[in-house]
Amino acid sequence: MAAIAQDPQARLQHALDVAYRYLGHRDRTVIEVRRHLEAKRVEPDTIDAALAELERVGYLDDARYARAFAEDRRTLDGWGAERIERRLRRAGIERELIDAVLGAQGPADELAAAIAVLERRVRTPPRDERARERALGVLARRGYDLETAYDAVRAFESGRAA
């Protein structure tokens, strides 16, 4: 380990090796990799150099991460924009990038996704106030804003597809 501490190139290679192992499990954000390297006690200058190299060769790309994450959570888990936004912010994605990714889906798409969640999770249109509240709760927990959730429940009740 003393040899690594002496040679800047060896320190960079060590940081890259740690980062590559971390990235081997799933795609990560720049902040996630930075935190991981900090936890492994890599020096700040070496972290900066490693992150720059990982971005240069395409292993780190926050825009790609945000697009893929949002699409996966919408498609696979039925998440709404608010929940996706919270998770992206927690992962260290910048506000402008989150807005661009979430802005790519319009209100009609968000409504259609909410109705699809109700069709999968609730299955039958609500017949009373208690069932409506349950359907709204399903959508709220998945991160749909209240207005979209109400519209989706009304559309689901009336049998309209968005």
User: What tens digit of pLDDT does each residue of 99-149 get?
Assistant: 999 988 888 999 999 999 999 999 899 999 999 999 999 999 999 999 999
* Domain-located, residue 77: no
Give the count of domains, the chain: 3
pTM of the predicted structure, to 2 decimals: 0.80
Domain that holds residue 130: 107-158
| pLDDT of res. 4 | 54
What H or E segment, with its residue span, contains residue 5? helix 2-6
* Domain-located, residue 76: no
DSSP per position, 85-144:
HHHHHHTT--HHHHHHHHHTS-HHHHHHHHHHHHHHHT-S---SHHHHHHHHHHHHHTT-
How does pLDDT run across 32-78, given as a tens digit for each residue? 999 999 999 999 999 999 999 999 999 999 999 999 999 999 989 99
* Domain-located, residue 117: yes
